[in-house]
């Protein structure tokens, strides 16, 4: 790992990402919505409604916080292509 | 006397129409004609030896799955041939839809055509295991196959096909549930995820009608241009009609004298449609899809003019909620919520606000389940709101519904 790696990484085309939830694993604990309330809201039974489609660069950080907040590890980020 | 192998092809898959018991396995009220192994061989000739080259013929014929989703068989085969893991081929004869009876009728009338289809698929794909999957309560279906094995002289270790009885549950015939069960898990659906390991074991599930058609195509016999339908009127009947037959013609042939107000297409998780919108439509799936409808596994329930569609829908949604796999929140909580709204509407125990709440919960459940079961309930709800919109008025305005509220829905224990 040298400093030369850095410029190469910034030139690489950023691929789009979307947030996914596995409904079998999700127990409706709601930590994701607390960690990222601007992109995730809970339905009236307490289960998260996840934004469909590609995340904006600003939302990517919020989505990552939601992924890390889930005690069931039911959320993950996935490449859109 | 010399026997000439005429190979009389068939232009139908069934040996004849049947009247079934009101719900459950496709046991007919009067005995129907079962084709013996000898008759089967006389009519169709012996099962041909096949290889993966059969794929080209299947794609040329455009063979589609007949379990309800109409996925091209070639697509499934291509995916299976790309992978290297051990392969299980399943003949799915489990009609968990309480009304559906066309597959059960087919395995009772032409079990050997289905068996041939299963063995042809297994041979062409180089499968390690071939399974017949039955609904748990289909004891006659099992007996039919066991008898067919004996006719073929199969016994002990010589039997190339296993029979497995699935559970007795609405979701027991779902392809993903079968895949999970044959690999040692519970018979419950699970979300489809890309399998990355090419050596992982794989399962390919074909509906039994698909396999019967495959057995004809592999012999270079014509694939009958027909559709098998189960229709619930005063009796539950299985008929085979030409693809260009209209829905109205089907009902006339079955003895209907008065036009119904609506038809439930595809079964208990199906779509309601107004009679005038579908009467002249051909039963061909292509025609149905062009009208944004589907007959799924070929189930039709006409609703008589004096029956209350709101009450029937309430009963159906309550049944679907009771048949949840109980695996995910949107289904476990969402379906009972839908059922509660529909019960309120049926009981005339609410105002227009109930309809608003119903619409909001439909939107909250739609597309969010782990499997497609909840989507069946939302689709049925949405189509019922449209089809019975005029009649719904009398349920929320205190005008009182004057329609007959009791409609027998076999299998829902109402």
pLDDT tens-digit profile of B13-40?
A: 999 999 999 888 999 998 889 999 999 9
Mean of pLDDT values over B220-245: 95
Taking only the tens place, the pLDDT of each residue in B252-280 is: 999 999 999 999 999 999 999 999 999 99
3-state secondary structure chain B: CCCCCCCCCCCCCCCCCEEECCCCCCCECCCCCCCCHHHHHHHHCCCCCCCCCHHHHHHHHCCECCCCCCCEHHHHHHHHHHCCCCEEEEEECCCCCCCCCHHHHHHHHCHHHHHHHHHHHHHHHCCCEEEEEECCCCHHHHHHHHHHHHHCCCCHHHCCCEEEECCCCCCCCCHHHHHHHHCCCCCCCCCCCCCCCCCCCEEEEEEHHHHHHHHHHHCCCCCCCEEEEEEECCCEEEEEEECCCEHHHHHHHCCCCCCCCEEEECCCCCEEEEHHHHCCCECCHHHHHHCCCCCCCCEEEEECCCECHHHHHHHHHHHHHHCCCCCCHHHHCHHHHHHHHHHHHHCCCCCHHHHHHHHHHHHHHCCCCCCCHHHHHHHHHHHHHHHCHHHHHHHHCCCCCCCECCCCCCCCCC
Confidence check: pLDDT of B357 > 50: yes
pLDDT value at residue A12? 54
Which residues, at least 6 apart from B324, have a Cβ–Cβ distance to it below 8 Å?
A: B331, B332, B335, B373, B374
The architecture CATH gives domain B228-396: Up-down Bundle (1.20)
Model confidence band, residue B8 (pLDDT cutoffs 50, 70, 90): low
Chain A CB contacts of B370 under 8 Å are 22-24
Distance from CA of A10 to the nearest CA of B (A): 29
| Yes or no, beta carbons of A26 and B333 under 8 Å apart | no
Model confidence band, residue B2 (pLDDT cutoffs 50, 70, 90): very low
Domain chopping of chain A, boundaries:
23-79
Mean of pLDDT values over B171-187: 87
Confidence check: pLDDT of B7 > 80: no
pLDDT value at residue B5? 44
pLDDT value at residue B287? 96
| Yes or no, beta carbons of A45 and B327 under 8 Å apart | no
- A5-19, B334-348, B368-382: which has the minimum mean pLDDT? A5-19
Domain chopping of chain B, boundaries:
23-225, 228-396
| Yes or no, beta carbons of B370 and A43 under 8 Å apart | no
Chain B CB contacts of A74 under 8 Å are none
The architecture CATH gives domain B23-225: 3-Layer(aba) Sandwich (3.40)
- Give me the residue from A23, A24, A44 closest to B368, CB to CB: A23
In percent, the amount of chain B with pLDDT more than 70 equals: 96
Confidence check: pLDDT of A30 > 70: yes
The architecture CATH gives domain A23-79: 2-Layer Sandwich (3.30)
Strands B162-165 and A75-79: unpaired
Taking only the tens place, the pLDDT of each residue in B45-62 is: 999 999 999 999 999 999
């Amino acid at each position: 790992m040298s400093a030369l790696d850095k410029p190469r990484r910034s030139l690489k085309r950023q691929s789009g990402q979307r947030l996914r939830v596995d409904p079998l694993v999700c127990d409706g604990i709601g930590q994701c919505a607390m960690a990222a309330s601007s992109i995730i809201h809970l339905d009236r039974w307490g289960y998260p409604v996840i934004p469909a489609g590609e995340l904006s660069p600003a939302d990517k950080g919020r989505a990552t916080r939601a992924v890390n907040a889930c005690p069931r590890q039911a959320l993950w980020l996935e490449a859109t292509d | 006397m010399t026997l000439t192998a005429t190979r009389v092809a068939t232009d139908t898959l069934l040996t004849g129409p049947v009247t079934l018991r009101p719900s459950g396995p496709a046991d007919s009220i009067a005995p129907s004609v079962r084709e013996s192994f000898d008759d089967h061989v006389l009519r169709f000739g012996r099962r041909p030896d096949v290889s993966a080259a059969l794929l080209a013929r299947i794609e040329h014929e455009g063979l589609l799955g007949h379990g309800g989703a109409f996925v091209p068989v070639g697509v499934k085969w291509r995916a299976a041939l790309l992978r290297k893991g051990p392969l299980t081929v399943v003949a799915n004869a489990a009609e968990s839809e309480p009304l559906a009876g066309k597959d059960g009728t087919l395995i009772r009338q032409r079990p050997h055509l289905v068996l041939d289809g299963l063995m042809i698929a297994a041979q062409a794909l180089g499968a390690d295991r071939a399974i017949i999957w039955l609904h748990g309560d289909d004891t006659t279906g099992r007996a039919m196959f066991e008898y067919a094995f004996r006719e073929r002289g199969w016994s002990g270790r010589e039997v190339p096909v296993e029979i497995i009885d699935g559970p007795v549950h609405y979701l027991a015939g779902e392809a993903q549930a079968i895949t999970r069960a044959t690999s040692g898990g519970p018979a419950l659906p699970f979300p489809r995820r890309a399998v990355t390991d090419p050596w992982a074991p794989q399962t390919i599930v074909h509906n039994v009608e698909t396999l019967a058609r495959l057995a004809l195509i592999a012999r270079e016999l014509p694939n009958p241009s027909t559709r098998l339908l189960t229709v619930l009127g005063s009796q539950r009947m299985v008929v085979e009609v030409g693809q260009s037959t209209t829905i109205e013609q089907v009902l006339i042939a079955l003895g209907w004298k008065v036009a119904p107000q609506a038809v439930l297409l595809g079964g208990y998780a199906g779509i309601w449609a107004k009679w005038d919108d579908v009467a002249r439509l051909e039963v061909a799936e292509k025609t149905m899809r062009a009208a944004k409808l589907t007959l799924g596994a070929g189930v039709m329930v006409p609703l008589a003019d004096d029956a209350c569609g709101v009450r029937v829908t309430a009963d159906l949604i309550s049944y679907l909620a009771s048949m949840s796999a109980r695996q995910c929140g949107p289904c476990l909580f969402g379906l009972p919520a839908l059922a509660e709204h529909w019960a309120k509407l049926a009981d005339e125990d609410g105002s227009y606000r109930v309809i608003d709440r119903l619409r909001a919960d439909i939107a909250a459940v739609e597309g969010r389940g782990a499997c497609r079961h909840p989507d069946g309930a939302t689709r049925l709800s949405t189509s019922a709101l449209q089809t019975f919109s005029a009649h719904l008025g009398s349920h929320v305005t205190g005008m009182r519904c004057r329609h007959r509220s009791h409609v027998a829905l076999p299998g829902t224990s109402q």
